[in-house]
Amino acid sequence: YVVSAHKASSVTASVSGAFVAPHETNLVVAKGNRLEIHTQTSHGLMLVTEQALYGRITSLHFFHPTGRLTGLVLVTSDKQQFAVLSWDAAAQTLVTESSGEIVERTGRPAIEACLVTVDPESRMLAMYWYQGIVHLFQMAGGQARRGSVRSAGGQVRRASSGGIEEWPYAPPALAVLYEDANMTRQIHVYRVGEAQSEMQLVSLWTSEPVDQTVSHIVALTNGAVLAIGDDSVAVVAQNTPMLSMSMRAASVTAWEWIDREQGERLLLADDEGVLSLVVLKSASGAASKVKDLYVERMGEISVASSLTYLSDGCLYVGSHFGDQQLTTKVDADTFVEPLESFQNLAPIMDLCVGSGLASSSHGSIVTCSGMRNKPSLRMVRNGVGIDRIAGLDIKGLLGVWSFTARGTPDLEQVVLVLSLFNQTLVLGWTEPSAGREIEMNELDVGSGPQPGWRTSELTLAVGLTGDQNHVIQVTPTAVTLIGIAGWQQRAVWTPESGAPISVASVSGDQIAVVVDGKAVGYLEVQGTSIVPVALRELGQYVSCIDVHSWDRRQVRSSLVAIGLWGTNDIQLLQLPSLETHPLAPTASSGCDLPRSILMCMLGNTRYVLVGLGDGRLHHFAVRQLGSDWFVSEHKSVALGARPIRLTAFASRGSTSVFAAGDHSAVLFAGRRGAERRSSEAGEGKLMYANVDASEVMHVAPIASQSFPDALCLAMPGQLAIGTIDPVQKLHIRSTPLPKWAAPHRVVHNVGMGMFGLATVHSLGTPPVEAGRFSVVDAQTMDVQASMLLRPYELPESLCVASLAGLERTGRAAADGVPDVFVLGTSIVMPNEDDARRGRILAMQWDGQRMRLIGSFTAHGAVYAVRAFRGMVLAAVNNHVILLGWQRHADYELVVLYSQQTQIVTVSLTVSGDYVAAGDLMSSVSMYKYEETSADSKTERRLVPVTRDYASSWVTSVATAPAPLAQNLMRMFPERIADEVEMAGREHLAVEGRWHLGDMVNCMRTGSLVMDIPDPEFPELFRPALVFGTIHGAVGVIASVEDGKLGRILDRLQTNLAHLLPTAGMWSYDKWRAYHTGQRQTRAFGFLDGDLIERFLDLPAEMQELVVT
What is the Cα–Cα distance from 251 to 272, expressed in whole angstroms? 8
Q: For 751-794, what is each residue's pLDDT tens digit?
A: 888 999 999 998 777 778 889 999 999 888 899 999 999 989 99
Statement: residue 168 has pLDDT above 80: no
Q: The CATH number of the domain where 1040 resides is what?
A: 1.10.150.910
Quick one: DSSP state of residue 730? E
Q: Which distant-in-sequence residues (6+ apart) come within 8 Å of 693 by Cβ?
A: 359, 361, 386, 664, 713, 715, 720
Distances (CA, A) of 393 to 401, 714, 1031: 17, 10, 44
Q: What are phi and psi of 1072, to 5 degrees?
A: -95, 0
By CB neighbour count within 10 A (0-12 exposed, 13-18 middle, 19+ buried), where does 181 fall? Answer: exposed
Q: 1101: helix, coil or strand?
A: helix
Q: 14: helix, coil or strand?
A: strand
Confidence at residue 951, expressed as pLDDT on a 0 to 100 scale: 81
Confidence at residue 897, expressed as pLDDT on a 0 to 100 scale: 93
Expressed as residue numbers, the domain containing 196 is: 102-206
Computed over every residue of the chain, the mean pLDDT equals 83
- Which amino acid would we find at residue 71? G
157-161, 515-519, 743-747, 894-898: segment of lowest average pLDDT = 157-161
Q: Of 183, 206, 229, which marks where a domain is finished?
A: 206
Q: For 224-272, what is each residue's pLDDT tens digit?
A: 899 999 999 999 998 888 999 999 889 999 999 988 777 788 999 999 9
Domain-located, residue 236: no
Domain-located, residue 753: no
Domain-located, residue 761: no
Confidence at residue 640, expressed as pLDDT on a 0 to 100 scale: 81
Burial code (b: 16+ CB inside 10 Å, e: under 16) for 580-605 equals ebebeeebbeebeebbbbbbbbbbeb
Q: What are phi and psi of 1105, to 5 degrees?
A: -65, -40
Nearest Cα residue to 915 out of 889, 890, 954, 947: 947
| Mean pLDDT within 990-1003 | 90
Percent of the chain with pLDDT over 70: 85
Statement: residue 1028 has pLDDT above 90: yes
Nearest Cα residue to 303 out of 245, 367, 231, 375: 375
Q: Of 704, 731, 758, which marks where a domain is finished?
A: 731
- Highest mean pLDDT, choosing among 165-179, 607-621, 703-717, 799-813: 607-621
Statement: residue 645 has pLDDT above 90: yes
**H or E, element range at 1058:** helix 1043-1059
Statement: residue 1014 has pLDDT above 60: no
Q: For 1073-1089, what is each residue's pLDDT tens digit?
A: 988 766 788 999 999 99
- Which amino acid would we find at residue 774? S
Bond into 171 cis (ω within 30): yes
Q: Are 38 and 83 in contact (CB under 8 A)?
A: no
DSSP string of 1023-1057?
Answer: EEEEEEETTS-EEEEEEE--HHHHHHHHHHHHHHH
Q: Of 731, 748, 783, which marks where a domain is finished?
A: 731
DSSP string of 562-630?
Answer: EEESSS--EEEEETTTTEEE-EES-TTTT--SEEEEEEEEETTEEEEEEEETTSEEEEEEEEEETTEEE
**What's the pLDDT band for 947 if we cut at 50, 70, 90?**
confident
- Total domains, the chain: 3
Domain-located, residue 897: no
Q: For 854-877, what is each residue's pLDDT tens digit?
A: 899 999 999 999 999 889 999 999
4-8, 171-175, 494-498: segment of lowest average pLDDT = 171-175
- Which amino acid would we find at residue 886? Q
Confidence at residue 578, expressed as pLDDT on a 0 to 100 scale: 93
Q: Are 362 and 383 in contact (CB under 8 A)?
A: yes
Confidence at residue 598, expressed as pLDDT on a 0 to 100 scale: 95
Statement: residue 504 has pLDDT above 90: yes
What is the Cα–Cα distance from 1039 to 563, expressed in whole angstroms? 38
What is the Cα–Cα distance from 515 to 495, expressed in whole angstroms? 7
- Greatest distance between any 2 Cα atoms in the chain: 111
Quick one: DSSP state of residue 576? T
DSSP string of 300-355?
Answer: E---EEEEEE-STTEEEEEESSS-EEEEEEEETTTEEEE--EE----S--EEEEES
CA angle 476–481–696, rounded 5-degree value: 55
Other beta carbons less than 10 A from residue 550's beta carbon: 20
Statement: residue 981 has pLDDT above 50: no
Residues constituting the chain: 1108
Statement: residue 40 has pLDDT above 80: yes
Quick one: DSSP state of residue 472? E
**What's the pLDDT band for 724 if we cut at 50, 70, 90?**
confident
Q: The CATH number of the domain where 604 resides is what?
A: 2.130.10.10
Statement: residue 39 has pLDDT above 90: yes
**What's the pLDDT band for 952 if we cut at 50, 70, 90?**
confident
Percent of the chain with pLDDT over 90: 45
